[in-house]
Amino acid sequence: MSGRGRIFPNLCNLKLTRQIQNYPGAMNSGVNLKELAAELKLSPSTVSRALNDSYEISAETKKKVISMAEKLNYQPNPFARSLRENKSKTIAVVIPERINNFFAQVIDGIEHITQQHGYHLLVYNTHEDVDKEKKIISLLLNGRADAIVMSVSSQTSDVSHLERLHERGVPLIFFDRICSGIPTTKFITNDYESTFEGTRHLLQQGCKKIAFLMLSKELSITKERLRGYQDAIREAGLESESCLNITCCQNEEKNIELIRDLLLSENRPDGILASVEKLALATYQAVKRTNLRMPDDLKIISFSNMNIAGLLNPSLTTITQPAFTIGEECAKLLIRKLTRPKQPDLLNQVITVPSKITIRSSTVAG
Amino acid sequence: MSGRGRIFPNLCNLKLTRQIQNYPGAMNSGVNLKELAAELKLSPSTVSRALNDSYEISAETKKKVISMAEKLNYQPNPFARSLRENKSKTIAVVIPERINNFFAQVIDGIEHITQQHGYHLLVYNTHEDVDKEKKIISLLLNGRADAIVMSVSSQTSDVSHLERLHERGVPLIFFDRICSGIPTTKFITNDYESTFEGTRHLLQQGCKKIAFLMLSKELSITKERLRGYQDAIREAGLESESCLNITCCQNEEKNIELIRDLLLSENRPDGILASVEKLALATYQAVKRTNLRMPDDLKIISFSNMNIAGLLNPSLTTITQPAFTIGEECAKLLIRKLTRPKQPDLLNQVITVPSKITIRSSTVAG
DNA sequence: AATAAATACGAAAACGATTGCGAAATAATA
DNA sequence: TATTATTTCGCAATCGTTTTCGTATTTATT
């Protein structure tokens, strides 16, 4: 035992230990509470309390502990904490599509709020597949996430998996594509009104035959938007022809062909309301396969959160949801629910955030 | 004690317990290993071993245990397991931008592989902000994720935070925007070659003055792509004029103005190579603010993973990375590293996956 | 000065899983 | 039949926190 070695005797031991633990393949989360306590010649309980700013610990001790914790770069083990506190500081986000500006913006909004409160985001993509959705939900049944924010897949009609989740007591929030059967809070845009307005706009631009493109009749947004579309058609004294209500599928190429066939049929529409962005883009592709010109022969308006709607040819008239805000609102509500002790369950209500219509060339006669 | 009540005595107690635990605000992860064991009149260790298919347990017992576990819908607590096994079954993905098809596709690719192995994905967006990146990385220092896949922000030049992470032993993989200083595996596309080809294509289409748009000179992709561009310029016997190397910023509007100024300057380029998609779109916006016509007055090629490059006006000639594949390859490598015990560290190597150039109207004389 | 109250900390029990070790019960061997 | 293997399972420690309880010391009160 040399004098030199005794300056930081414990520190030296510590470094040795850390090197030993640091073999390849092992997670090395650095120093732990017990080691930190030993370094300070205090008990783990005291150190824990000091770091959590407990009133039972003197200011002096707190200072020492905090300083040493920083020096050794102590990071509490999140799993020990989760196990003990029965919460994970993690929120799961389940979406049907990742390559989609709307969902990406919503997630950005969620992250913006949750990050401020130390929450982490698990993100899952169902790919519009209800079986994948069920698997993901069953994975979340074990408490890995403290709460779930989701938009259901277009295939989802049986919602028993979501009911189970909700009954388990996992806070669950829907946005955009909601499940009205599950008694919780949902955030949507004013689907009915904005579609109504959008359709009316097409009518004002001279459209006589307007087709409605949708993904699936099961979807909450489809139902509401279809209703808005139909009411606007009827208000204009026109007939809502069911042959103009087109249900598309998940296959892009098939959709393009389907729409092309529609555009070449006898009953050809002169206007299109696409209930989702993807179908507007398919329409653009379909039009390229015909001799039709937009907006002269065909006008189109669509729900879309594309930042480059203005760069399309013709530039696309859009109904744009405040996606980032929707994400933020979902997150704010959840944070309230999760951080306040014994907070009541999420109210069974639908909160509407209005969309904004931006008129561009695709609906304005050349 | 009635005879009726004794048919499933423990089950009744169980249900009661579950209801009590299920107060609002509490995570209810359902039945627990101890409870499951009590139900089976076995010890927790036996049940655990049975569920993990240990050789020490008889086939008969295993069957009973599994059946009861399904009946009670037993879900092991992930945090207890993580704590014990020192692994989280979670992989963190850190990207600079969420509203970006390239990164979204990469994540889809990662998820496609990791999901098959029971891994979960934590996704973080740095918003091209190195300070946010540092915070996120420091959050990941505690072992919350078993590994990290990332693409650095355009601001990242000091990489000490990434070095610390790597030294901690957390498996780390870079893709696209890499850190050559950190000795680990990186996945990139053939940045040099594809930019070289792209530039040559512009030259072949008659461009005499080609500008190069970039986000930041610090970025690995910028350096490589700039090199490819410059070599192609020199190969053609032209000068690489530094005034045509435009460094853009994070503000979209400023970029548009910057590019517009360039397009209105005396030294106006007749071709543009945008090293990232965002800058190609800014160019389209900038052109709209001038009297120039594309492709006649200005041709443009850009790295881009937009699915609708063909719908722009003019349709955009692109260099497209195999984003989904890149994600898959990152994930495959990580899974190998994480599932094999005592696997050696990730090799310090750069793996190149070639891009594909798709020529469209934006580079072809009308 | 004797007692009560406040302060500051430690020991140990959780949280829920996995696993080394020991020990019955059964089967195989001498 | 006595001994040794083998099979099958339980006990208890462990992972790293937080927290309940207990206790020693100091300060305040009568």
Pick from A18, A48, A76: which residue ends a domain? A76
Examine residue A81 and state whether it is found in any structural domain, yes or no: no
CB contact under 8 A, B29 and A142: yes
Contact, B105 vs B327, CB < 8 A?
yes
**Based on the domain organization, do B8 and B96 belong to the same domain?**
no
Write out B41-60 in H/E/C secondary structure: CCCHHHHHHHHCCCCCCCHH
Contact, B186 vs B177, CB < 8 A?
no
Among all residues of chain A, which has the CA nearest to that of B141?
A: A29
What confidence category does residue A5 fall into, taking pLDDT thresholds of 50, 70 and 90?
Answer: very low
Among all residues of chain A, which has the CA nearest to that of B282?
A: A308
Among all residues of chain B, which has the CA nearest to that of A87?
A: B27
**Based on the domain organization, do A138 and A170 belong to the same domain?**
yes
**Based on the domain organization, do B285 and B317 belong to the same domain?**
yes
Give CA separation, B46 vs A142, B9, B40, in Å.
21, 22, 10
| Strand D contact at CB of residue B349, distance < 7 A | no
Residue B171, preceding peptide bond in cis (omega within 30° of 0): no
Of chain A, the percentage scoring pLDDT greater than 70 comes to: 92
Closest CA to A138 of A117, A168, A100: A168
Reported as type and span, the H/E element at residue B66 is helix B59-71
Exposed (0-12), middle (13-18) or buried (19+): which is A293, by Cβ within 10 Å? exposed
Give the pLDDT confidence score for residue B17 in this predicted structure.
37
Q: Which domain holds residue B308?
A: 191-321+356-363
Closest CA to A209 of A302, A303, A298, A315: A298
| Strand C contact at CB of residue B60, distance < 7 A | no
Contact, B95 vs B126, CB < 8 A?
yes
Give CA separation, B129 vs A286, B136, B250, in Å.
40, 11, 10
Q: Where are the alpha helices (DSSP H) in B152-276?
A: 160-167, 191-204, 220-235, 252-264
DSSP, collapsed to helix, strand or coil, labels residue A17 as helix
**Based on the domain organization, do B345 and B296 belong to the same domain?**
no
Reported as type and span, the H/E element at residue B358 is strand B356-358
**What's the CATH number where B158 sits?**
3.40.50.2300
What one-character-per-residue DSSP string does B241-296 give?
-GGGEEE--S-HHHHHHHHHHHHHSTT--SEEEESSHHHHHHHHHHHHTSS--TTT
Determine the Cα–Cα distance for residues B214 and B223; give it in Å rounded to an integer: 9
| Strand C contact at CB of residue A45, distance < 7 A | yes
DSSP bridge partners of A299: A271
Give CA separation, A62 vs A37, A48, A56, in Å.
12, 10, 10
Among all residues of chain B, which has the CA nearest to that of A74?
A: B142
Reported as type and span, the H/E element at residue B121 is strand B120-125
CB contact under 8 A, B122 and A120: yes
CB contact under 8 A, A29 and B143: yes
Pick from B76, B106, B128: which residue ends a domain? B76
| Strand D contact at CB of residue A45, distance < 7 A | yes
Tokens of B344: 């050696």
pLDDT tens, position by position, for chain B (366 residues)?
A: 333 322 233 333 333 333 333 333 344 448 999 999 999 999 999 999 999 999 999 999 999 999 999 999 999 999 999 999 999 999 999 999 999 999 999 999 999 999 999 999 999 999 999 999 999 999 999 999 999 999 999 998 899 999 999 999 999 999 999 999 999 999 999 999 999 999 999 999 999 999 999 999 999 999 999 999 999 999 999 988 888 999 999 999 999 999 999 999 999 999 999 999 999 999 999 999 999 999 999 999 999 999 999 999 999 999 999 999 999 999 999 999 999 877 899 999 999 999 999 999 999 986
**Based on the domain organization, do A60 and A148 belong to the same domain?**
no
What confidence category does residue A366 fall into, taking pLDDT thresholds of 50, 70 and 90?
Answer: low
Examine residue B81 and state whether it is found in any structural domain, yes or no: no
Range with lowest mean pLDDT among A88-102, A227-241, B86-100, B312-326: A227-241
Give the pLDDT confidence score for residue B366 in this predicted structure.
67
Closest CA to B212 of B188, B193, B196: B196
**Based on the domain organization, do B196 and B306 belong to the same domain?**
yes
Examine residue B141 and state whether it is found in any structural domain, yes or no: yes
Mean per-residue pLDDT, A192-214: 97
**Based on the domain organization, do A298 and A253 belong to the same domain?**
yes
Pairing of strands A271-274, A210-214: parallel
Mean per-residue pLDDT, A3-8: 30
Q: Where are the alpha helices (DSSP H) in chain A?
A: 9-21, 33-40, 44-51, 59-71, 78-85, 101-114, 130-139, 160-167, 191-204, 220-235, 252-264, 277-288, 323-339
Determine the Cα–Cα distance for residues A35 and A42; give it in Å rounded to an integer: 10
Q: Read off the pLDDT of residues B255-308 as tens digits, 9 standing for 90 and up.
A: 999 999 999 999 999 999 999 999 999 999 999 999 999 999 999 999 999 999
Pick from B52, B76, B100: which residue ends a domain? B76
A128 φ/ψ sector (left φ>0, alpha ψ -120 to 50, else beta): left
Residues of chain A positioned with their CB less than 8 A from the CB of B101: 99
Determine the Cα–Cα distance for residues B189 and A319; give it in Å rounded to an integer: 37
Give the pLDDT confidence score for residue B195 in this predicted structure.
98
Domain count, chain A: 3
Examine residue A297 and state whether it is found in any structural domain, yes or no: yes
Phi, psi of B42 (to 5 degrees): -130, 170
**Based on the domain organization, do A271 and A236 belong to the same domain?**
yes
Q: Give chain A's largest Cα–Cα span.
A: 99
Q: Read off the pLDDT of residues B26-62 as tens digits, 9 standing for 90 and up.
A: 444 489 999 999 999 999 999 999 999 999 999 999 9
CB contact under 8 A, B281 and A308: yes
Q: Over the Cα atoms of chain B, what is R_g?
A: 28
| Strand C contact at CB of residue A84, distance < 7 A | yes
Examine residue A82 and state whether it is found in any structural domain, yes or no: no
Torsion of CA A339, A344, A348, A353, to 10 degrees: -30
| Better pLDDT: A124 or B12 | A124
**Based on the domain organization, do B143 and B179 belong to the same domain?**
yes
Reported as type and span, the H/E element at residue B323 is helix B323-339
Q: How far is the CA of A60 from the C1' of D28 (A)?
A: 22
Determine the Cα–Cα distance for residues A334 and A228; give it in Å rounded to an integer: 30
Examine residue B23 and state whether it is found in any structural domain, yes or no: yes
Determine the Cα–Cα distance for residues B198 and B358; give it in Å rounded to an integer: 10
Give the pLDDT confidence score for residue A17 in this predicted structure.
37
Residues of chain A positioned with their CB less than 8 A from the CB of B82: 79, 82
Report the Cα–Cα distance between both ends of chain B, in Å, rounded.
91
Residues 6+ apart with CB under 8 A from A6: none
Give CA separation, A303 vs A102, B45, B270, in Å.
10, 55, 36
Averaged pLDDT score across all residues of chain A: 91
**Based on the domain organization, do B209 and B313 belong to the same domain?**
yes
Residues 52-71 of A with CB under 7 A from strand D: 52
Q: How far is the CA of B151 from the C1' of C14 (A)?
A: 41
Examine residue B246 and state whether it is found in any structural domain, yes or no: yes
**What's the CATH number where A65 sits?**
1.10.260.40
**Based on the domain organization, do A133 and A178 belong to the same domain?**
yes
Examine residue B95 and state whether it is found in any structural domain, yes or no: yes
**Based on the domain organization, do A92 and A10 belong to the same domain?**
no
Determine the Cα–Cα distance for residues A247 and A259; give it in Å rounded to an integer: 10
Q: How many A×B Cβ pairs under 8 Å?
A: 172
Residues of chain B positioned with their CB less than 8 A from the CB of A102: none
